[in-house]
């Protein structure tokens, strides 16, 4: 991370987490009494998106730490819960919705961990199956360089049997996970793409081979694994390159270590197009064959998505017939034509994922009834 300055909300200067981060980050710091002044400074930069990646704001999370995934009724949702540890990302992917989702776009880390622990305690006490991840509004592991959050979370999740934590990343920041007693209750997950997409569209991220080597190491430490192909990008030659990625997965890890693999194709709100054109002028990803979906996002035409999904599914099943594959934000027609069934045939997508978590992570079947 290239943090050049640390800003601290006046409300959290006394917290242990704040002081610990100050001691680890050897950068100038400033106490902020009015957050809006900081937001205005970021927004006034020539490139606010880039500026927001260079400063870090330590602040309390004034809302809920645990939230439901913001799915849509038009597509099958996985029933995921988000653990909102912070916002934004130090990496720089052309297609990243966070460029336009946060106003301003700025690295914020929530340090009121006592409240975080209290919310998790309630989830654990309910003893209902819960799949919880930290990688929705940020990357799960970019904070590893100067916090011990992952170690805290992994340890907390290891003490119970109804919830699983998923840490999703494009980094190789895994050393802090090495000697933890995880109890199989933490899934280490990687977002994957072809090396061409990584090189051209995913600045400051680890290479494909580095991500897979990191996954293999976590697997050797006993962590269950997951992989997410989202967003897949359609371009000339993409099918052959995605096939090579699939083959590479199974040369690094065993199929029985994988809890699930998700597939999703590029989709974005129309407003993001201008940002990509400005910040990534050489990118071609926004010039594909797109149509507006039911959620307002631009998506590849359905036949194009289905064709790529069908091939990805067949390649994965050839090498790992028992691994759970699911589609991210797709309707029943796409599921039926791509996978040969719809989630309702198997109890719904949340149920399918719960069952896989039970098998791989040792969650208690007594917690099957969801909220």
Q: What are 39-88's pLDDT values in tens digits? A: 999 989 999 999 999 999 999 999 999 998 877 777 888 889 999 999 99
pLDDT mean across residues, the chain: 94
* Token pair belonging to 134: 């930290």
**Would you list the DSSP string of 190-212?**
EE---HHHHHHHEET---HHHHH
In this structure, the strands spanning 258-265 and 225-232 are parallel
- Domain spans, the chain: 64-87+113-367
Q: Is 186 helix (H, G, I), strand (E, B) or coil?
A: strand
Q: What would the mean pLDDT of 112-135 be, rounded to a whole number?
A: 95
Q: What would the mean pLDDT of 6-33 be, rounded to a whole number?
A: 95
pLDDT (0 to 100) of residue 365: 64
Q: Is the pLDDT of residue 371 over 50?
A: no
Residue pair 25/143 in contact (Cβ under 8 Å)? The answer is no
Distance CA 202, CA 193 (A): 10
Task: List, for residues 26-42, the tens digit of each pLDDT value.
Answer: 899 999 999 998 999 99
Residue pair 68/82 in contact (Cβ under 8 Å)? The answer is yes
Percent of the chain with pLDDT over 70: 97
Q: What would the mean pLDDT of 202-213 be, rounded to a whole number?
A: 98
Residue pair 250/317 in contact (Cβ under 8 Å)? The answer is no
Residue entry with tokens 């099957």? 368
Which of 3.90.45.10, 3.80.30.30, 3.40.50.300, 2.70.170.10 would CATH assign to domain 64-87+113-367?
Answer: 3.80.30.30
HEC readout, 18-77: HHHHHHHCCCCEEEECCHHHHHHHHHCCCCHHHHCCCEEEEECCCCCCEEECCCCCCCCC
Q: Which residues, 6 or more positions from 41, have their beta carbon under 8 angstroms from its beta carbon? A: none
Alpha helices in the chain (DSSP H): 16-24, 35-43, 48-51, 98-101, 113-126, 149-157, 195-201, 208-220, 238-252, 272-279, 302-319, 332-339, 349-361
* Token pair belonging to 50: 């880039």
pLDDT band at residue 100 using 50, 70 and 90 as cut-offs: confident
Distance CA 5, CA 73 (A): 41
Q: What would the mean pLDDT of 154-178 be, rounded to a whole number?
A: 97
pLDDT (0 to 100) of residue 72: 72
Residue 69's Cβ-count burial label (10 Å; 0-12, 13-18, 19+) is: middle
Task: List, for residues 355-369, the tens digit of each pLDDT value.
Answer: 999 999 999 866 454
Q: Is the pLDDT of residue 370 over 50?
A: no
Residue entry with tokens 């975080």? 116
Residue pair 266/233 in contact (Cβ under 8 Å)? The answer is yes
Task: List, for residues 182-191, the tens digit of each pLDDT value.
Answer: 999 999 999 9
pLDDT (0 to 100) of residue 243: 98
Residue entry with tokens 């991500």? 211
Residue pair 358/365 in contact (Cβ under 8 Å)? The answer is yes
pTM beyond 0.85: the answer is: yes
Q: Is the pLDDT of residue 178 over 60?
A: yes
Q: Which strand (E) or helix (H) includes residue 81?
A: strand 81-83
pLDDT (0 to 100) of residue 102: 66
Q: Is the pLDDT of residue 351 over 80?
A: yes
* Token pair belonging to 309: 């999904």
Q: What would the mean pLDDT of 127-152 be, rounded to a whole number?
A: 94
Q: Which residues, 6 or more positions from 89, have their beta carbon under 8 angstroms from its beta carbon? A: 53, 96, 98, 107, 138, 139, 142
């Amino acid at each position: 991370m290239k943090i050049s300055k640390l800003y601290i909300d006046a409300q959290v200067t006394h917290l242990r987490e704040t002081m610990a981060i100050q001691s680890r980050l050897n950068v100038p710091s400033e106490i902020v009494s009015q957050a809006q002044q900081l937001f205005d400074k970021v927004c006034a930069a020539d490139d606010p998106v880039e500026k927001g990646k260079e400063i870090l704001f330590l602040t309390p999370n004034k809302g809920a730490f645990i939230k439901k995934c913001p799915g849509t009724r038009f597509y099958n949702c996985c029933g995921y819960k988000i653990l909102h540890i912070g916002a934004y990302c130090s990496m720089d992917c052309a297609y990243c919705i966070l460029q336009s989702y946060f106003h301003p776009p700025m690295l914020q880390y929530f340090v009121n961990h006592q409240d975080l622990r209290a919310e998790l305690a309630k989830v654990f006490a309910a003893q209902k199956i819960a799949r919880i991840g930290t990688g929705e509004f940020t990357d799960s592991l970019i904070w590893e360089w100067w916090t011990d959050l992952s170690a805290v979370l992994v340890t907390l999740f290891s003490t119970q049997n109804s919830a699983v934590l998923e840490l999703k990343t494009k980094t190789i920041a895994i050393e802090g996970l090495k000697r933890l007693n995880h109890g199989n209750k933490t899934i280490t997950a990687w977002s994957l793409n072809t090396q061409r997409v990584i090189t051209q569209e995913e600045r400051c991220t680890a290479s494909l081979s580095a991500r897979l080597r990191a996954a293999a190491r976590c697997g050797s430490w006993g962590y269950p694994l997951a992989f997410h192909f989202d967003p897949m990008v359609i371009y000339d030659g993409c099918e052959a390159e995605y096939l090579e990625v699939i083959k590479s997965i199974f040369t690094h890890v065993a199929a029985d270590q994988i809890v699930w693999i998700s597939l999703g194709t590029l989709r974005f709100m129309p407003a993001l197009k201008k940002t990509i054109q400005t910040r990534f002028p050489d990118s071609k990803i926004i010039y594909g064959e797109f149509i507006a979906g039911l959620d307002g996002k631009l998506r590849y035409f359905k036949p194009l998505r289905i064709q790529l999904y069908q091939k990805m599914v067949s390649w994965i099943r050839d090498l790992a017939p028992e691994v759970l594959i699911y589609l991210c934000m797709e309707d029943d027609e796409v599921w039926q034509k791509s996978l040969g069934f719809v989630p309702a045939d198997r109890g719904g997508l949340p149920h399918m994922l719960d069952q896989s978590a039970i098998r791989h992570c040792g969650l208690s079947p007594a917690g099957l009834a969801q909220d």
